[in-house]
Structure 1
Amino acid sequence: MNPETEVIACPACKHLVRVPLDWLGTQVQCPECRALFRAPVRTGGTLAGAELLSRPEPAAGPKPAARPDLMLMLPAFGLLVCGVVGAVVNGYLLFLVLGDPAAGRQWAAKQTEAVRKMGLEADPGGTAEEKAAREAEAAEQLLGHFRWILPAALAASATVLAGGLAIVFRRNYRLAQVACVVATLNVAHLCCVPGAVAGLWGLLMLGSEEGRAHFRR
């Protein structure tokens, strides 16, 4: 080491600065962070720590872009739309199944017929009476399943809607994540492809630093 200098750690950024011996005890500026500190003097063979006098003013950077918010608001809008539509559809079907049994059986019969036309279920066969009886039994079984499926789907739609609102109002980060997962898994409505897109997009954005910062503002 050059005997004419002392190596001193800047108290602001810890950058090592070579200070001439005749500068000890005077004000020195760090070349790295531009902070001002008083260089210590050697007392009894020991060099004390430097005294920080002032830190440099942070440079004024550009204003944060609105893009991260926009990239979150788009999936939030998708969650809101899917949540509202799912709540309306599932709420109506639940009312139909529980409030009007005759209309509920008619709707279940149409669903059973549609499944059969798609080739997902074999034709019951037999006489007209036997076929009608089997169709009525299948419709009743389907209706029994929907008595618990529809309330669950309605709750899932409400969760998706609440998650969209959470993103818009920057509240409840965890609820927004849960809503995106629900929408991605298509729990609210089994054919809701837009909900899956919005949910996956929202999850990706919420997992980013920009997405987390959205809820801290």
Structure 2
Amino acid sequence: MKPQASGLQAVQSEELFHYPIATRERLRNHFFLTFHHRRWLNSDFRNLADLDVRGVALDLFCAAQDQAPVGTLPTNDQLIARLVDVSLETWRGLAARSIPPLTNWQRCVCDDGEVRLYHPVVLEIVLDALGRKEQDAEKRANDKARKRLKALPEQMMRAGLRKQATEDEAFVLRLDEHLLEHYDGEQRRPATVRRALEDLDLQDQRGA
């Protein structure tokens, strides 16, 4: 006899949740996901669902990581069956169990208007990964800025400035900002840095 699924059922609600992750958002380096094994082992779903249902449910968790928006699933049975590599007949048999693989997956509306499925735990995992992505991007930008500012004084001397001028941190920052704004994409060769210095000199003369 199968256990009764008290409180465990696929959620069907017409009050659609607005999925917070844009369809265009990508996690290109999202090759692993955070898995709280104790949370899984102690969950009602894991402890009550049939073994094959549990396996397919884990596949769905993983498959959702590569969907758009990331963390969602299509509502179409045939598409879901393909995601977990089973026949449509097999999928519908699993979906008819007292505790189906889509337990706790809910309908949501995405930023492009498409209605898809999301799971609160999967969404939590994806939001955490997006947070790490933003932190990594910020760290890379900060590292790039440090390297750029460290190299700029030597580039200024190669452009003809005396060492004393390169020790003015405020001026170095001002030159860096000007190069980013007006010469972004160009290598900071002496001629380029010299042009930027001439720009700033003209600005100072006009402001005088």
TM interval, shorter chain, is under 0.3
Instruction: Give the structure-1-normalised TM-score.
Output: 0.26
Computing the radius of gyration from Cα coordinates, the structure with the larger value is 1
Greater RCO, CA 8 A, separation 6+: 2
